[in-house]
Amino acid sequence: MADAPVIVVGAGIAGLTCALALARSGRPVTLIEKRTHLEEVGAGLQLSPNASRVLIDLGLGKALMRAACAPLSLDVVLGRSGQRLARAPLADAMMARYNAPYLVIHRADLQQILLDHVRGLGVIPIHVGRTPQHIEQDEHGVTLTMTNQQGDLEHLNGQALVGADGLHSSVAGLLGDPSQARPAGYQAWRGTVPMRAVPQHLETNRTTLWLGREGHAVTYPLQGGQSFNLVVVTREKSAEQGWSREGQTDVLRARLRHWSPLLPLIEAMQSFKIWTLYDRPPRARWNKGRCVLIGDAVHPVLPFLAQGAALAIEDAASLSLCLTRYPDQPAEAFATLSRIRHVRAERVQQQARRNGQIYHLPWPLSLARDRVIAQKGAGLMEDYDWLYGWSLAGKTALTPPAL
């Protein structure tokens, strides 16, 4: 089945990036998506240099620069008073240190840019409204059985299959690992507002991390400065299941009633969506033969490090490289992918969990945290070379175990 496509299940960030990378390397690809419309909702995403570098290498640079913003700095402030603890430079500093930008972008814009580039290649069929039911594989290839919108069964043959179907992956279950991510005890309130409605006292060309005992918040500009993003994360013991739902401004306002610098922004927001945050350890093995999982399907990341999408993008590029190294042995390629990505994914997940604990420290432990942040000051991001400095460059020359 050498001419059969790699079947990529899930046209989200991981799946679209993977399809692009594979097609660019000359491999036939077919995308399968459960939804019938590929337009995204959601709110902002931070795209750190480890991810922006991959997207730029895939030719998305110009489109990204049009839709995204590069905030001047990361400011850490206290939610109640607005007092600034630290300001770490981002835009120029990140370019100088990592040779790739630290961007913020609306999720819908990123999804659209990826989709435009996938469609622009003109060689990647996208089958929407399909739900995987069964996966079979042997030494020659893979057969995916799925239902279409009418409920009829369809079969698709491929040389390999990539499960990029997100947090509640059904491909994982079909490959024999039905374990599920669990609510992590947090919920995220996300909303955007036109820039003209942002209260004047807020600095809109920066990313700001707001800390307080009630939760934490992050604000930054979006859409080339046309809109402004707010995400607030609160602890929630009995978080509801489900991906996103409508949130009431009154409830959030009551929770953050002591955060006077941020309240006017909450007032200006028309609506919020609430996300229950999920977590799980990474799956022990990412692949079964010539089928593999990437992105949230294999290692969801709590958003306290802003790395879930970034890791998914790294996975996609790494997968394409592994298949280039083992062009006719997808099982070997995917076992290598699992081996080289597992440790990094776990480290990122752990750091995100740790950040969540630090951001939500109760008083008086929070005083010690604030002192450390203030001492680090402009050097706040310098502990993250291991994260933001990631790149595929040079890895093609390495032997497989070190890839």
Q: Which residues bind ligand FAD (CB under 6 A)?
A: 9-15, 32-35, 45-46, 131-132, 164-167, 170, 188, 190, 231, 275, 277, 295-297, 301, 303, 306-310, 312
Q: Which is nearer to ligand FAD, 73 or 170 (CB)?
A: 170
The yes-or-no answer on residue 278 being catalytic is no
Judged by beta carbon, residue 51 or residue 85, the one nearer ligand FAD is: 51
Q: How far is the CB of 188 from ligand FAD (least distance, A)?
A: 4
CA distance 15 to 31: 8
Q: Please give the Cα distance from 281 to 297 (Å, whole number).
A: 11
| Closer residue to ligand FAD (CB): 37 or 196 | 37
Report the nearest approach of ligand FAD to the CB of residue 36 (Å): 10
CB of 29 to ligand FAD, least distance (A): 15
d(CA 64, CA 50): 15
What is the distance of C-alpha 285 from the center of its chain?
20
Kindly report each contact of residues 197-205 with a partner whose C-beta sits within 8 Å and lies 24 or more positions away, as own/partner: 197/268, 198/228, 198/265, 198/268, 199/264, 199/265, 199/268, 201/261, 201/264, 202/228, 202/261, 202/265, 203/75, 204/228, 205/69, 205/71, 205/72
> What are residue 44's DSSP bridge partners?
106
Nearer to ligand FAD, 34 or 325 (CB): 34
Q: Which two tokens stand for residue 67?
A: 């839709």
Pick from 359, 357, 352: nearest CA to 215: 359
Give CA–CA dist 292/285, Å, rounded. Answer: 9
CB 179 within 8 A of CB 191: no
Residue in 98, 102, 186, 220 annotated catalytic: 220
- Give min distance, CB of 2 to ligand FAD, in A: 25
Which is nearer to ligand FAD, 86 or 218 (by Cβ)? 218
The minimum distance between CB 104 and ligand FAD, in angstroms, equals: 8
In angstroms, what is the minimal distance from the CB of 265 to ligand FAD? Answer: 17
Site of tokens 């850490």: 76
Q: Helices marked H in 99-144 — which ranges?
A: 107-121
Residue 22 near residue 320 (C-beta atoms within 8 A): yes
- For ligand FAD, the closer of residues 307 and 318 by Cβ is 307
Asked if residues 161 and 9 have their Cβ atoms less than 8 Å apart, the reply is yes
Helices (H), 13-155: 13-24, 49-57, 61-67, 91-98, 107-121
Active-site amino acid positions:
220
